[in-house]
Amino acid sequence: MTAVKRFALLYTASNVFFFHSLKYFTTGSSGVPNIPEFMGVMVVDGVQTGYCDSNNKTLKVQQDWAQKILENNRKQLDWYTQKCSEDQPNVFRAHTVRLKQQFNQSEGVYIIQRISGCEWDEHTDRVAAVLQYGYGGEGFLEFDVNTLTWIQLKAEADVIKQRWNTERTRTKQNEIFLTQVCPEWLKMYVAGGKSSLQRTVLPSVSLLQKSPSSPISCHATGFYPHRAVMFWRKDGEEIHEGVDPGEILPNHDGTFQMTVDLNVSSVTPEDWSRYECVFQLSEDAIITKLNKTAIRTRKARRIDGGERNAFDSFYLLILWFLCNVMLEHVALKNSRSTSWRSSQRRKIKWFYVKCFSCFKYASCSCS
């Protein structure tokens, strides 16, 4: 990680409590047995707040503060219930049928993704809107709230783009929700969930090693929010050679974990004391000296691949399960050619990887 990039990350982390987001991640699927045709997740400031699908047809509120807000705002709760029970499942079912007809497709696994919502800068009061669609593993359509027009991300989306751009009622509804309703609700959620959403939790940091010849892992777990950085340095200077940074992954309790490996095969025992692992979250830092006596032996599996409970969060469990079921369905149930099955696998893996990142950070699109 370069000094400039690390500074940017630290600057973002130090201002994390002034940037807020309300995102709705919705997915419609076809050709996947035993999986809801529609699934939706509400995420506030990166925290999963609600979930619903076409089987249960009701919003499951997953934060106490959000439950209190909705209990006091019955119209809002009714809106979510109507969206979960009838509106959105029907919308995504219709989208799937029309797209399959347009592309003259009738078999296989098909996925439509949508991310909608807004972001709010508490410092400037600036609001940004997000509304994007993905289809079949690729970006498809994007709504420009400034021009109130749809932009095609694939040539195949041109027909739908032209039709949607003539639907003035749909356009007006999108504008009102993205620029008025969503920001109003986001500010309400931030105020109601402030003590939870804006908390800072420092992690426990450990030095782990699988075997004497393995890299040493600096592992931090239990921190919140997720905008943290961790790196190795020697003699007070950050190093990159022999360093393998891992991803930030979610824990089951809403906190996060991360791992950074250091290859010590060429480091003499006398030089170990010159190395240290640095974890930084906002203005707080935890420095762990490289010390043989502090190293614990870990199990054979890699921690930076994610602890098993990293998938205990329901939305990640759904994505993981959906991905694996679809991969198995494509591989075992379909009699198409090998090249076709490989193409379907790539699309499904794309969906999982992109949406995993989206749901983790609530700051990108599944399209």
- CA pair distance 94, 100, nearest whole angstrom: 10
Residue 16 per-residue DSSP state: G
For residue range 245-301, what is the model confidence (pLDDT) as tens digits?
999 998 888 889 999 999 999 999 899 999 999 999 988 999 999 999 999 986 544
Indicate the number of domains in the chain. Answer: 2
Same domain, 244 and 167: no
Q: Are strands 126-135 and 138-144 parallel, antiparallel or unpaired?
A: antiparallel
Same domain, 166 and 230: no
Same domain, 188 and 270: no
Is residue 166 domain-resident? Answer: yes
201 falls in which pLDDT band (50, 70, 90)?
A: very high
pLDDT at 341: 45
CATH code for position 155: 3.30.500.10
Using the 3D structure, point to which of 287, 309, 331 is the last residue of a domain: 309
Same domain, 151 and 45: yes
Query: Which of 112, 150, 114 lies closest to 132, judged by CA?
Result: 114
Same domain, 179 and 253: no
The Cα-based distances of 70 to 61, 202, 225, 295 in angstroms read: 9, 30, 24, 48
Is residue 148 domain-resident? Answer: yes
Is residue 12 domain-resident? Answer: no
Using the 3D structure, point to which of 172, 197, 222 is the last residue of a domain: 197
Is residue 350 domain-resident? Answer: no
- CA pair distance 99, 91, nearest whole angstrom: 12
Using the 3D structure, point to which of 197, 227, 250 is the last residue of a domain: 197
Structural domain that includes position 192: 17-197
Which residues in the chain belong to E strands, given as ranges?
19-30, 38-44, 47-53, 60-61, 110-121, 126-135, 138-144, 149-152, 204-209, 216-223, 229-234, 237-238, 243-245, 249-250, 256-262, 275-281, 284-289, 295-297
CATH code for position 266: 2.60.40.10
For residue 320, is pLDDT > 50? no
Same domain, 174 and 116: yes
Same domain, 96 and 151: yes
The Cα-based distances of 301 to 98, 268, 292, 305 in angstroms read: 45, 26, 21, 8
Same domain, 294 and 244: yes
Is residue 85 domain-resident? Answer: yes
Same domain, 191 and 248: no
Residue 247 per-residue DSSP state: -
For residue range 134-183, what is the model confidence (pLDDT) as tens digits?
987 788 999 999 999 999 999 989 999 999 999 999 999 999 999 999 99
For the chain, what is the mean pLDDT? Answer: 80
